[in-house]
Structure 1
Amino acid sequence: MYRWHFTSTDDRTLPPLLLLHGWMGSSEDYTELIDRLKSQFYCIAIDLPGHGKTEVIDENTGYDFINTAKGIVDLLDSLEIERCSIAGYSFGGRLALYLALEFPDRFVGVASLLGQTLRERNENRVILESTSPGLPTASERQARIDRDRQIIDRLLTTSFDEFVRDWYRQSIFVGIDSRPDFPDLIRRRIATNQPSNLAKSLRYAGLGMQPYLGDKLKLSTRSISLIVGALDLKFVNIGRKLEQMCPSITLNIIPNCSHNIHFEQPELWLKLIDN
């Protein structure tokens, strides 16, 4: 169903770490971070369907949220990775949470892999960045689907440069345009993605199209680290609700950044991965 494009490091003897980017991102988002992590982890950063250089063979089903998750498991099988740690951002975080809950024996958290073998320690932790478990009611999901259709219409009818710049004017990204490397982020978004493919990703794997994971999360005993930016008030609120919903969630609110923590505060993100 997929011809996956991914970036990986060389040392397969190290604990594997799967990195999943957000919507409109790519594996290139993690390039500099992987350079810092490669002495500790065998890193795998994937271009998700509709993004970067990954090719979707079956256009009818390949962009679907659940099929994407299953495709990731198939990729890990092909790489002979039985279990790995996982860290996902936004769209990639939603996939990471689904994978952790649906395939609990395959995905273990970063902290459980550092310095000890899986047999010695297995805490089943997962790192999620600016992530939601989905929407609980059919009416909420339909409203989100309708909203995403409007976004898709803008994506396909305006210049891509204009769309990308407008995207980062949302309140969840407050302050991101003040970062000195923000122009590089904009250029990377435009260079690595095609609007038509992004539209398919949003249409079939947007928030309104995924299953609600909150009920399973309530019953989960696995430790989950949730990272949100202090300036991203929407996801601070989501994070606090999730922390109350699920006792095994640890909420980390990162100062001086909004939605995209690994871009805005990479040193703090690395420390959290390291911890």
Structure 2
Amino acid sequence: MPATVSFSVPSPHGPRTVTVSYARVGAGEPLLLLHGIGHHRQAWDPVVDILATERDVIAVDLPGFGASPALPEGLAYDLSTVVPALGSLCEALGIERPHVAGNSLGGLLALELGREKLVRSVTALAPAGFWTPVERRYAFTVLSAMRQAARNTPLPVVERLSRTAAGRTVLTSTIYARPGRRSPEAVVAETLALARAEGFAETLRAGTSVQFTEDVPGLPVTVAWGTRDRLLLYRQGVRAKRIIPGARLVRLPGCGHVPMNDDPALVARVILDGSR
């Protein structure tokens, strides 16, 4: 069942309280799951039950996304704020150096948590930050268009489209290679999550200056990329391998940008293998 936790983080204007919504299930070593921009923790639903057979799984809504409130005034949606906030989240939950898996923005955050030695292993699924300037502009243009469409499409239209595989393709084919596999309820919920994400614009703005250029030494790192990723192209995975030479680079055949839906068994195996 979802829950919330609040904790204090520093700001230029003094301590601020951040509240995060999360769901926790399973038993074993802790595994933190981080979603992408405009998404919510339910992006991990296809793999959570598999992961929970071996891990204490904590899926979070990042601040300003899903059911988590926006960051308080004075806190920016940048890496220097969000990464320490995730460290404080782990402290508040009594988790010491969890494994972490992240997708897209969540993958970038996972790698940054690894660089700060706040986690014991990293699995990054199509992480942001390995783009060229042209690739970043393309991705941000697509994301902005998706956000605009989500905000402008009336809910009854979204609900009607979600009832058919063709309609789900219209709504989600940018991020899923197999959108017909996503349930109608999930498609409606994630469309609403994208439309209502309070942190979307500021996170996207902060991302214009992001470029991941440093190694993540001293812990196991897996970078996995879908061969049918239409948002962050597969070749960025090869670039990530050059920057993090010790990383295990895994190809996800037939998967899109959010691969958990496209091949849950494969993605769960990659995460569990990477966190052993």
Q: Select 1:108's aligned residue among 96, 111, 120.
A: 120
Q: CA, structure 1 residues 10+264, in 2 after alignment: closer, same or farther (shift >3 Å)?
A: closer
Q: Distance in 2 between matches of 1:268 and 1:153?
A: 29
What's 1:263 paired with? 261
Asked if residue 35 in structure 1 is aligned to residue 31 in structure 2, the reply is no
CA distance in 1, matches of 2:37, 2:81: 16
Equivalent residues in 2 for 1:149-164, closer than 5 Å = 151=145, 154=148, 158-159=152-153
Greater share of helix residues, 1 or 2?
1
| AA of the residue aligned to 1:195 | A
Does 2:183 match 1:176? no
The TM-score normalised by the length of structure 2 is 0.75
User: 1:130 Cα deviation (Å)?
Assistant: 1.0
User: What count of residue pairs does the alignment treat as equivalent?
Assistant: 246
User: How far 1:255 sits from its partner (Å)?
Assistant: 1.4
- Runs of 5+ consecutive residues of structure 2 not aligned to the other structure: 1-16, 159-167
Contact 1:17 1:85 in 2 (8 A): yes
Aligned to 1:26: 40
Give the conservation status (yes or no) of the 8 Å contact 1:134–1:207: no
**CA positional deviation for 1:165:** 6.8
CA distance in 1, matches of 2:208, 2:34: 18
Contact 1:135 1:208 in 2 (8 A): no
Task: Please report the RMSD computed on the Cα atoms of aligned residues, expressed in angstroms.
Answer: 3.2
Q: For 2:68 and 2:194, locate their aligned partners in 1 and report how far apart those are by CA, in whole Å.
A: 12
| Local SS of the residue matching 2:269 | helix
Over 3 Å counting, the alpha-carbon distance change for 1:33 and 1:63 in structure 2 is same
The 5 Å alignment of 1:1-275 reads: 1-9=17-25, 11=27, 14-101=28-115, 103-104=116-117, 106-109=118-121, 126-134=122-130, 143=137, 147=141, 151=145, 154=148, 158-159=152-153, 168-170=172-174, 173=176, 175-177=177-179, 179-191=180-192, 193=193, 195-198=195-198, 200-205=199-204, 208-209=207-208, 211-214=210-213, 216-217=214-215, 220=217, 222-232=219-229, 234-275=232-273
Kindly state the Cα deviation for residue 158 of structure 1 after the two structures are TM-superposed: 2.0
Query: Which amino acid in the other structure matches residue 24 of structure 2?
Result: S
**Cα distance 1:207–1:257, how it changes in 2: closer, same or farther (>3 A)?**
farther
1:49: how far off? 1.7
8 Å CA contact 2:226, 2:251 repeated in 1: yes
**d(CA) in 2 for partners of 1:152 and 1:181?**
17
Q: TM-score, normalised by structure 1?
A: 0.75
1:95 is displaced (CA, Å) by: 1.0
Structure 2 Cα separation of the partners of residues 51 and 235 of structure 1: 24
Residue 129 of structure 1, CA deviation: 0.3
Say if 1:10 and 1:70 are closer, same or farther in 2 by CA, change over 3 A.
same
* 1:131 Cα deviation from its structure 2 partner: 1.2
Deviation digits for residues 182-212 of structure 1, max 9, x if unmatched? 5343122135x262435x3243355734532
Equivalent in the alignment of 1:118: none
Contact 1:145 1:206 in 2 (8 A): no
Q: Which has the higher strand share?
A: 2
Separation in structure 2 between the aligned mates of residue 61 and residue 145 of structure 1, nearest angstrom = 25
